[in-house]
Structure 1
Amino acid sequence: MASRAVWKGQLRLSLVAIPVEIHPATKSGARVSFRQIHGPSGKPVRYEKTVQGIGPIKTDDIMKGYETGADGYILIEPQEVDAIKLETKKTLELVQFVDASEISPLYYDKPYYVVPTDDLAGDAYRVVRDALRADQKVGLGQLAMRGKEYLCAIRPCGDGLLLETLHYADEVREAEPLFSRIEDAKADKELLSVARDLIKRKTAPFDAAAFEDGYNKALRDLIDRKLRNRKTPRASKEGSDSARTSGERENVIDLMDALRKSLKTEPAKKPAKPRGSGSRKQA
């Protein structure tokens, strides 16, 4: 099945704007999934929005509620939330560059492929990719999709670019309360030597294909056996879902001119100020 873009817009580096689209780098359909089926009738179980004491309600009557504590909720129309204007809905601007080693693994969330939308965008796209690769840097920016603004890191990946969404600082739980119970003492030297020898013996280049999801395989084996068994209960499938995609084309400004102007107008990035005593500790 063809990949469907989850975001379309511009990747911007100062005055250089590159029309791109973002695709998930992982496949949710690779694992077995089930639907709930009503056994006696064989029909899919559907979820209906209801209100206690009222029963089923219309979707148009649903508002967004923000909990204010014991007082209850403040009510906001969905249209008011949708009306919030963010540049990051259509533009992912690279505002800072860092060494990849500076980002703790704790912050990484989900990977996406970034691809140019047409051949005209290819030249600018390759320049950004090769510049990041040459300087071994990761670009940082933000984009809005699916009702949330994400912090993003962009790096070279083969012939293209990989975007990884990052957790914000206030989304990362501090490790100290959990690790504080671990005794702060050095390991036994002899035991440490044996452990290091085992690690060296098992060290090899990473290959994800060498690992298999055993639980998923067992589920597929179970399904295969059920399919071959004529006594397995069956239910008819009702309807199918359809999805529509939409896109838009953006113009790419002259690349060399934009890069030269960017060097003249873009101020150098100032080092970040040290955070106070309240900064988070990294694992």
Structure 2
Amino acid sequence: MNRRASWKGHLAFADFNCEIGLYSALSSAEKISFNIVNRKTGHRVERQYVDSDTGEAVLREDQVKGYELDNGDYLVIEGDEIAKLMPESDKVIRIRHFLPMDGIDKLYFDRSYYLAPTGEGGEEALTLLAKAMQDENVAALGEAVLFRRNRVLLIRPSGRALVATALNFSYEVRSQTTVFKSIPDIEFDDEMLELAGHIIEKRAGTFDPADYSDRYNDALAELVKAKIEGREIVRPQPRREDNIIDLKEALRRSAGAGAGSGKKATAGGRKASRKAS
């Protein structure tokens, strides 16, 4: 890889040891970004921390972290106190075990990195590991200290390469029950389930990232270009939705069983029964 590694170290398990680097799989280079400027002068505005009570600017050396107590006071935590808690890194990703490729819920996925060799002979070793994992349809679960935090990593084969994805911890992922506890049990009749299944089959496809674009970022780029050229951007008119019908009728039309298509259904028009709880 030509780009600079975000992290360098070793990948190890049993007697296997290979020098590797992690390269961010994400890029923000193509995203439109803005600075904050003074409308009156056109000069860039600098961010400054001020005391919430006095309104006076606070110098960097006087800025410390604070934990808010129940009474509204703050418990000051010094930088050297936090530094003592940082786990020491030996620059090694240790593979703990292998597991089925789909053995981890994707809700736990955080940031992904390409895992590439940086030492002599590493390319052959990592290619072999990726091929063996692909043949067995498994991923590897490893641990390491990355960027001053201990992280759990899911390492998966992607073609002849390996991708390492940092995983969120359990306390960082909200439980489904807290979000969906108010949704009642609903029973649907056979026709509705068959119609829904038919629509899914009709629209079966594959994912190609090139088929999708960030319309907001594209619009920002066009706005910047238009302002440079002195043109006015005309906002497109939103598509009108009408002829609101119930869910079963919407399914029939979407499946081609009735006249028309693309009509909107309302929750209030749902033809289903709620199971008694």
TM range (shorter): 0.7 to 0.9
- Matched AA of 1:194: L
Specify the SS of the correspondent of 2:22. strand
- CA distance in 1 between partners of 2:197 and 2:158 (Å): 32
- CA distance in 2 between partners of 1:230 and 1:166 (Å): 46
Equivalent residue, structure 1, for 2:184: 183
Q: CA deviation at 1:47?
A: 0.7
Cα contact 2:64–2:76 (8 A) shared by 1: yes
- Matched AA of 2:102: S
Change (3 A) 1:149 1:155: same
Structure with larger RCO (C-alpha < 8 A, sep 6+): 1
Equivalent residue, structure 2, for 1:118: 119
Alignment of 1:171-210 (within 5 A): 171-210=172-211
Cα contact 1:14–1:93 (8 A) shared by 2: no
- When normalised by structure 2's length, the TM-score is 0.74
Equivalent residue, structure 2, for 1:5: 5
Deviations 1:262-282 (A, max 9, x none): xxxxxxxxxxxxxxxxxxxxx
Please identify the structure whose Cα radius of gyration is greater: 2
Q: CA deviation at 1:141?
A: 1.7
Change (3 A) 1:157 1:87: farther
Equivalent residue, structure 1, for 2:20: 20
Specify the SS of the correspondent of 1:154. strand
- CA distance in 2 between partners of 1:222 and 1:155 (Å): 40
Q: CA deviation at 1:83?
A: 4.4
Change (3 A) 1:12 1:75: farther
CA RMSD of aligned residues (A): 2.4
Change (3 A) 1:215 1:81: same
Change (3 A) 1:128 1:66: farther
Alignment of 1:1-283 (within 5 A): 3-52=3-52, 53=54, 55-70=56-71, 72-84=73-85, 86-88=87-89, 90-229=91-230
- When normalised by structure 1's length, the TM-score is 0.72
Deviations 1:71-120 (A, max 9, x none): 74443432343344635461111112211222112111221111111333
Structure 2, unpaired ranges of 5+: 233-277
- CA distance in 1 between partners of 2:163 and 2:45 (Å): 38
Change (3 A) 1:16 1:230: same
Say how many residue pairs are matched. 230
Equivalent residue, structure 2, for 1:264: none
- Matched AA of 1:81: I
